[in-house]
Amino acid sequence: MVGLLNNKLLRILQNAPRNTPVADLYKNVNTLTIPDLHIFQILILIPKYFHHEDKLPVIFTSYFNENFLFHYRDTRNRDNLQRCTTSCGSRSVTYKGSNLWNQLPNDLKVIASLNSFKSKLKFILATCYN
């Protein structure tokens, strides 16, 4: 429902016809679509977890588990985040965040500056998924 309202508002603001693709409406105002914004907000949690714990509420201090805490040998997934294996857990932010984080390129994962990470992530989401 929120997405439909946003699309309608963007069409009105841009004076665009009804057949204008939704991706073009968001691209014209330099913003992310609702699903991309959801992904963006989930992925912002993880660099805060790694590099800026002071910017997170206390509840998130043990939210994500790194695989190297469980793998004592070098494995392919040693540097990834651990994911849950239950069907209930697969709907959680922890699972979605870990899954999305593990799919990001390594050069993006090592960025410590939150503003740099946000701008590069926004660029990736805007170009790759639209």
Residues 55 and 1 in one domain: no
pLDDT category of residue 67 using cuts at 50, 70 and 90: very low
Instruction: Note whether 36 and 129 are within 8 A (CB).
Output: yes
Residues 81 and 115 in one domain: yes
In this predicted structure, which of 5-14, 23-32, 63-72 has the lowest mean pLDDT?
63-72
Residues 23 and 40 in one domain: no
Residues 9 and 66 in one domain: no
Residues 58 and 112 in one domain: yes
Q: What residues make up the domain containing 19?
A: 1-31
Residues 99 and 38 in one domain: yes
Residues 42 and 18 in one domain: no
Residues 64 and 6 in one domain: no
Residues 77 and 105 in one domain: yes
Residues 50 and 88 in one domain: yes
* Tally of domains in the chain: 2
Question: pLDDT at position 3, please?
Answer: 76
* Each residue's pLDDT tens digit, 87-129: 666 667 777 888 888 888 888 888 989 999 999 998 888 776 5
Indicate yes or no: pTM above 0.85: no
